[in-house]
């Protein structure tokens, strides 16, 4: 059969025709003839189509994308196709996952991060071991569920930051509980395998808020709240000088929300303050510049961390109004002026004192964000299973609130997003990763096309020519953490060794008002006989208890040591006096804070100055866990995900497994 008119055309002419078509038509045309098929695999064509997809309103390209000349036509085609489909999903307000990959770990997940579209780092721990793991997504998407690298750590990861630098990926891990420290590590390829290696370790510093090149910003030093910056290359410390009024002010006694570097300035974000410092240099420390008042900030993330000189600073916050965008511009270099404007992107639904939005995060581009929403669509069912609420920050009419997209993962085999989740997203490729305290982990893909074709868009940072640093331990490092047990019903005593460090401070307390025995069967107070302090088990050191709330809601990460307790016979309120770092705190309905040293009178401690709540949404996170755990336990025949973790080899604390003794759900 003689060739048809189409087959006589050259590939060059076919390419010119394809350049006039959109992506969907090019893919359809590929099936017409062999010559068209060859032309539609031209690299220049897919560079053109990628530019077209990126120019669509609401589209995103990965920030980590290497030069296009280094990508082949197949990678460019996969990226252009995925970017176009993700954009359409956002326009349709439908981010429900099409593909899901699920894993179940033996330890609770405390932190995770997607890096460069191809790597997933996860920190997990219990009271016995702590480890860091990494998955190669290109392998995970093909069914290989084992991590490519795993190492054991000498402490639990409480906070962490990650940054891809010229010498590879750097992870700064804030280890806590037994010996607070900062551990700086990297992932390297060696002898065709991957290993975690140690770059530096700084003892005493903890609660990491920033990683910027050689600099790690920390909020704690030797269990004392002191914002400072550590140079992990030089092993030097730069403390930030106190602003006017000093650090002993209610709004500065707790750890800040954030510490980061912007336009050569160190910025500290507090509850309703922004503080500015000059960046420290090797020859000189930081110097204070000024502070400005802001709206009340409950949660905050920095949008677009890419260094753009003199670009305005944009912060996305959860406030009492909802989700707001703060824009800060500075001309400090010339006259010290700083301006701050805020705009409400989305108004939170009102439910009295309930804070229905929490756990705010943003992707690396700064154009997409999400948070958890417990305000039910049907208001009669409150609180609801948390909805994941996504928002496009970059494309919004200035006079209107940004549209919200709601989706959820409420299948029985999905990770419980209500269980103290760790979440990250790659909005350009359409991935959301969710892990939780039960060790449940899942990657959600809202697109559905083959995700392996979009792996390898960034350079492989594990390939380095410099000397391999010392490797982290490949064998477990026993932590031996001891958690105060709950008291089984009717029991009046417990292991005294677990309380050996309680009530040890030499305090001159009026024992007619305060009781220092937390295990007593009863005590006399204000001429009334009390049946004992029934709430001491709320300091056992598990998620959501009083110790957790002091850290996450009130900003006091140092392990609290209870000293005494008291009851108010007029209000039936229970007060606990604890030491946290270099401060005493009283915990009742309100938290009061006092420096170490002579304490005020009992009445003064109970009714002293209130310590502002740094993050009220932490109470939402704790209460939704209790409510949803209890609901699941009652409606599914006694399901306990802690037991499920134990059955797959985990070692959760017995109080979480044994409901009758542990009361891990305080509503039971």
H or E stretch at 621 = helix 617-635
Q: Over the stretch 571-599, which tens digit does the pLDDT of each residue have?
A: 667 788 899 988 999 887 789 888 887 77
Please say if the pLDDT value at position 490 is more than 50: no
Please say if the pLDDT value at position 531 is more than 70: no
| Among 654, 641, 209, 172, residue whose Cα is nearest residue 437 | 641
Helices (H), 511-600: 546-552
CB within 8 Å of 453: residues ≥ 6 apart: 74, 75, 77, 78
pLDDT at 267: 95
Helix or strand or coil: residue 100?
strand
Using DSSP bridges, classify how beta strands 265-269 and 273-278 pair: parallel, antiparallel or unpaired: antiparallel
CB within 8 Å of 244: residues ≥ 6 apart: none
CB within 8 Å of 376: residues ≥ 6 apart: 382, 383, 384
Confidence of residue 420 (pLDDT cuts 50, 70, 90): very high
Query: With contact defined as beta carbons under 8 Å apart, do 230 and 205 qualify?
Result: yes
* Mean confidence (pLDDT) of the chain: 85
pLDDT at 88: 93
Residues 179-201 have a mean pLDDT of 95
Residues 438-454 have a mean pLDDT of 93
**DSSP3 helix / strand / coil % (the chain, rounded to 5):** 20, 35, 50
Query: With contact defined as beta carbons under 8 Å apart, do 36 and 14 qualify?
Result: yes
Instruction: Indicate the burial class of 34 (C-beta count within 10 angstroms; 0-12, 13-18, 19 or more).
Output: exposed
Boundaries of every domain in the chain: 11-91, 99-454, 496-662
Q: Over the stretch 84-104, which tens digit does the pLDDT of each residue have?
A: 999 999 999 999 999 999 999
Q: Over the stretch 34-83, which tens digit does the pLDDT of each residue have?
A: 666 666 777 888 888 898 888 888 899 999 999 888 899 899 999 999 99
Confidence of residue 482 (pLDDT cuts 50, 70, 90): confident
Sign of the torsion angle spanned by Cα atoms 178, 614, 398, 372: positive
Q: Over the stretch 602-648, which tens digit does the pLDDT of each residue have?
A: 667 766 778 899 999 999 999 999 999 988 998 888 899 999 999 99
Distances in whole angstroms, Cα of residue 639 to Cα of each of 57, 71, 366, 635, 658:
45, 48, 39, 8, 12
3-state secondary structure 272-337: CEEEEEECCCCCCCCCEEEEEECCCCCEEEECCCCCCCCCCEEEEEECCCEEEEEEEEEECCCCCE
φ, ψ of residue 546 to 5 degrees: the values are -60, -40
pLDDT at 521: 47
Helix or strand or coil: residue 563?
strand
pLDDT at 495: 56
pLDDT at 642: 95
Residues 562-570 have a mean pLDDT of 77
Confidence of residue 471 (pLDDT cuts 50, 70, 90): very high
User: What's the token pair of residue 539?
Assistant: 């300091």
Determine the Cα–Cα distance for residues 105 and 130; give it in Å rounded to an integer. Answer: 12
Q: Which of 34-38, 190-194, 281-285, 392-396 has the highest mean pLDDT?
A: 190-194
Q: Write out the DSSP string of 331-367.
A: ETTTT-EEEEEEEEEEEPPP-TT---EEEEEE-TTSS
pLDDT at 537: 67
Please say if the pLDDT value at position 176 is more than 50: yes
Query: With contact defined as beta carbons under 8 Å apart, do 157 and 130 qualify?
Result: yes
| Among 476, 366, 363, 478, residue whose Cα is nearest residue 423 | 363
pLDDT at 380: 47
User: What's the token pair of residue 125?
Assistant: 């721990």
CATH number for the domain running over 99-454: 2.130.10.10
Confidence of residue 485 (pLDDT cuts 50, 70, 90): low
User: What's the token pair of residue 28?
Assistant: 């359809």
pLDDT at 261: 92
pLDDT at 570: 65
pLDDT at 660: 47
For the ranges 41-45, 388-392, 494-498, the lowest mean pLDDT is seen at 494-498
- Greater pLDDT, 584 or 135: 135
Please say if the pLDDT value at position 109 is more than 50: yes
Q: Over the stretch 329-386, which tens digit does the pLDDT of each residue have?
A: 877 655 667 888 899 999 988 755 678 999 999 998 889 999 999 886 544 455 578 9
CB within 8 Å of 323: residues ≥ 6 apart: 316, 317, 344, 345, 346, 348, 357, 360, 369, 371, 391
Determine the Cα–Cα distance for residues 426 and 300; give it in Å rounded to an integer. Answer: 19
Please say if the pLDDT value at position 222 is more than 80: yes
pTM of the complete model: 0.92
pLDDT at 236: 92
Locate tokens 């916050």: which residue?
Answer: 317
For the ranges 108-117, 397-406, 446-455, 606-615, the lowest mean pLDDT is seen at 397-406
Q: Over the stretch 280-318, which tens digit does the pLDDT of each residue have?
A: 877 778 899 999 999 999 999 999 765 556 778 999 999
Q: Over the stretch 259-283, which tens digit does the pLDDT of each residue have?
A: 999 888 999 999 999 999 998 877 7
Please say if the pLDDT value at position 461 is more than 80: yes
Please say if the pLDDT value at position 2 is more than 60: no
Please say if the pLDDT value at position 651 is more than 50: yes
């Amino acid at each position: 059969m003689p060739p048809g008119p189409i087959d006589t055309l050259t590939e060059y002419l076919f390419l010119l025709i394809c350049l006039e078509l959109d992506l969907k038509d090019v893919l359809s045309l590929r099936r017409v003839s062999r010559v068209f098929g060859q032309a539609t695999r031209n690299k220049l064509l897919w560079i053109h189509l990628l530019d077209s997809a990126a120019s669509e309103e609401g589209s995103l390209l990965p920030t980590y994308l290497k030069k296009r000349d280094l990508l082949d036509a197949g990678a460019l085609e996969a990226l252009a196709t995925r970017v176009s489909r993700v954009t359409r999903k956002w326009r349709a307000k439908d981010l429900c996952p099409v593909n899901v990959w699920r894993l179940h770990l033996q330890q609770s997940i405390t932190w995770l991060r997607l890096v460069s579209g191809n790597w997933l780092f996860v920190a997990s721990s219990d009271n016995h071991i702590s480890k860091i793991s990494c998955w190669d997504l290109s392998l995970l998407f093909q069914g290989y569920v084992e991590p490519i690298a795993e190492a054991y750590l000498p402490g639990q990861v409480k906070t962490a930051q990650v940054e891809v630098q010229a010498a590879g990926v750097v992870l700064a891990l804030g280890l806590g509980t037994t010996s607070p420290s900062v551990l700086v590590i990297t992932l390297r390829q060696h002898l065709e395998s991957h290993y975690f290696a140690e770059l530096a370790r700084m003892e005493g510093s903890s609660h990491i808020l920033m990683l910027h090149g050689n600099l790690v910003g920390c909020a704690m030093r030797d269990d004392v709240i002191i914002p400072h910056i550590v140079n992990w290359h030089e092993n030097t410390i730069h403390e930030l000088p106190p602003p006017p009024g000093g650090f002993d002010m209610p709004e500065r006694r707790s750890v800040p929300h954030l510490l980061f570097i912007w336009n050569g300035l160190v910025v500290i974000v507090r509850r309703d303050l922004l503080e500015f410092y000059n960046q420290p240099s090797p020859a000189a420390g930081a110097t204070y510049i000024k502070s400005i008042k802001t709206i009340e900030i409950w949660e905050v993330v920095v949008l677009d961390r890419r260094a753009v000189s003199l670009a305005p600073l944009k912060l996305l916050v959860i406030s009492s109004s909802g989700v707001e965008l703060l824009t800060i511009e500075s001309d400090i270099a010339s006259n010290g002026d700083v301006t701050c404007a805020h705009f409400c992107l989305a108004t939170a639904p009102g439910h009295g004192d309930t804070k229905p939005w929490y756990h705010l995060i943003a992707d690396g581009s700064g154009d997409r964000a999400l948070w958890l929403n417990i305000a039910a669509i049907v208001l009669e069912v409150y609180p609801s299973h948390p909805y994941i609420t996504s928002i496009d920050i970059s494309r919004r009419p200035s006079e209107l609130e940004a549209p919200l997209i709601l989706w959820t993962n409420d299948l029985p085999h999905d990770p419980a997003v209500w269980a103290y989740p760790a979440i990250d997203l790659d909005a350009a490729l359409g991935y959301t990763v969710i892990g939780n305290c039960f060790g449940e982990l899942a990657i959600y893909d809202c697109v559905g096309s083959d995700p392996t074709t979009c792996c390898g868009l960034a350079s492989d940072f594990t390939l380095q020519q410099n000397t391999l640093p010392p490797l982290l331990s490949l064998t477990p490092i026993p932590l031996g953490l001891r958690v105060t047990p709950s008291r089984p019903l009717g029991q009046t005593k417990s292991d005294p060794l677990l309380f050996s460090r309680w009530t040890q401070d030499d305090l001159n307390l009026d024992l007619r008002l305060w009781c220092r025995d937390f295990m007593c069967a009863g005590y006399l107070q204000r001429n009334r006989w009390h049946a004992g302090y029934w709430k001491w088990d709320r300091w056992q050191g598990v998620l959501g208890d009083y110790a957790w709330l002091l850290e996450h809601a009130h900003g006091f990460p140092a392990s609290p040591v209870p000293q005494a307790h008291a009851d108010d016979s007029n209000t039936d309120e229970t007060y606990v006096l604890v030491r946290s770092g270099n401060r005493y705190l009283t915990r009742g309905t309100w938290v009061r804070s006092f420096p170490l040293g002579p304490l005020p009178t009992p009445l003064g401690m109970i009714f002293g100055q209130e310590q502002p709540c740094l993050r009220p949404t932490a109470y939402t996170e704790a209460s939704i866990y209790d409510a949803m755990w209890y609901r699941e336990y009652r409606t599914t025949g006694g399901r306990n995900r802690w037991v499920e973790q134990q059955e797959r080899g985990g070692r959760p604390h017995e109080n979480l497994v044994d409901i009758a003794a542990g009361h891990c759900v305080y509503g039971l």
